[in-house]
Structure 1
Amino acid sequence: MWSMKTNNIIAALLTAAWLIVGSNYIGNSLIPPVKTIQSNNQEPSVPVKSAKNKKIPEPVLPLSVRLASASPDKGKKVAKKCVACHSFVKGGKNKVGPNLYNIIGQNKGQSIGYNYSSALKKVGGTWDFSSMEGFLKKPKSYLPGTKMSFAGLKKPNDRAAVILYLRNLSENPVELPK
């Protein structure tokens, strides 16, 4: 048979289990669990996002307004992302991408000595302020089939600054839109 010590341990465990179950039963009878409370005026369990938490995007000003307030110096800083693939000096060499000196007002896909994608060769027209903004925003969306792998500039003011910087890279800069 079991020793007295073993009997005492088993009795202690049974007593502890009985106390836990009994306390739980008494507690549930005095204070019902939350699950059983039903009320039509109950607060929703999922937090509702208030209007204060929602980030409302600022309206994008027209390009002409953004260009008027843009800084070519800021554009030069933002354009540092582009120096790995483009040069910006008169007579500069083409890299992975073409030299961007005097690009505003230039025919699309026709820079001397650079092999453009067929998509850019076919699109035609000139690089004006509007088309440059569309291209800088998201090149692959603006011109599917382009070789440019850059994801784009998300901030409208950054795009305006870069466009103004590119405009100024010319002996005869194109007139700003009104």
Structure 2
Amino acid sequence: MIMRIFLALSAILIVASCNRTASPDNQQAPQEEAESRPNAIVPTTSYQAAFDVLPEPYSQADYSLGRRTFKNCQSCHTITEGGRHLVGPNLHGIFGRTVGTAEGFQYSKALEAEAFTWTPERLEEWLDNPRDYLPGNRMTFAGIHRSADRHAVIAYLMVESGYAARLEDASKP
């Protein structure tokens, strides 16, 4: 009995795999195929080009690495315009914003007492070790210690939070 079930399943799998082969006329390009599937991974070459307008060292960063590194951040932060706050504030528009001023988020007393403006360089220092950078803040994240990873995630934030678009607009006559 078990042998018959095994043989039947094997036959079904063989037939199914034969039906998956597509003629060259019927195949989609990888980009089109990825875009036609929900939640597909789309090649990042067009996004990588957005890094070109960023200042050094962020213009040389890897978009894919930045996106992967940001996954460590997204359990606490959103990045979309108008996105909600989670455990940490929404990061859209962070660059140029005074620390501790995202509307609707309750910051630690340590951050409320500060008055600096977020820049890529300031975020670079913060992300190396948030606890040491500003003792008393509530961010429990240990930091991003590899500089290539920090550069990539900051470049990713610059592009995804609207900073790169502001740079492009400022460079137009």
Sort the TM-score into its range (normalised by shorter chain).
0.5 to 0.7
Q: What's the % identity of the aligned pairs?
A: 37
Where does structure 2 lack aligned partners over 5 or more consecutive residues?
A: 1-54, 169-173
Query: Quick check: 1:66–1:157 contact (8 Å CA) kept in 2?
Result: no
What does residue 121 of structure 1 align with?
A: 112
Distance 1:151 1:171, change over 3 A: closer
Structure 2 Cα separation of the partners of residues 113 and 72 of structure 1: 30
Q: How big is the shift at 1:90?
A: 1.1
What does residue 145 of structure 2 align with?
A: 154
Q: How big is the shift at 1:137?
A: 0.4
SS of residue in 2 equivalent to 1:82: coil
What does residue 67 of structure 1 align with?
A: 58
Structure 1 Cα separation of the partners of residues 148 and 114 of structure 2: 26
Bigger Rg over Cα: 1
TM-score by length of 1: 0.59
Q: How big is the shift at 1:101?
A: 1.2
Q: How big is the shift at 1:73?
A: 2.9
Structure 2 Cα separation of the partners of residues 131 and 171 of structure 1: 17
Structure 2 Cα separation of the partners of residues 107 and 137 of structure 1: 19
**How many pairs were matched up?**
113
Structure 2 Cα separation of the partners of residues 158 and 110 of structure 1: 26
Bigger share in helix: 2
What is the letter of the counterpart of residue 71 of structure 2? K
What does residue 90 of structure 2 align with?
A: 99
TM-score by length of 2: 0.61
Structure 2 Cα separation of the partners of residues 102 and 73 of structure 1: 21
SS of residue in 2 equivalent to 1:77: helix
Structure 1 Cα separation of the partners of residues 158 and 87 of structure 2: 21
Asked if 1:170 corresponds to 2:161, the answer is: yes
Query: Quick check: 1:104–1:127 contact (8 Å CA) kept in 2?
Result: yes
Structure 2 Cα separation of the partners of residues 107 and 75 of structure 1: 24
What is the letter of the counterpart of residue 67 of structure 1? Y
Q: How big is the shift at 1:142?
A: 0.5
What is the letter of the counterpart of residue 79 of structure 2? F
SS of residue in 2 equivalent to 1:76: helix
Asked if 1:79 corresponds to 2:79, the answer is: no
Tell me which stretches of 4 or more aligned residues in structure 1 moved more than 2 Å: 169-176
Where does structure 1 lack aligned partners over 5 or more consecutive residues?
A: 1-63
Asked if 1:134 corresponds to 2:108, the answer is: no
Query: Quick check: 2:127–2:144 contact (8 Å CA) kept in 1?
Result: yes
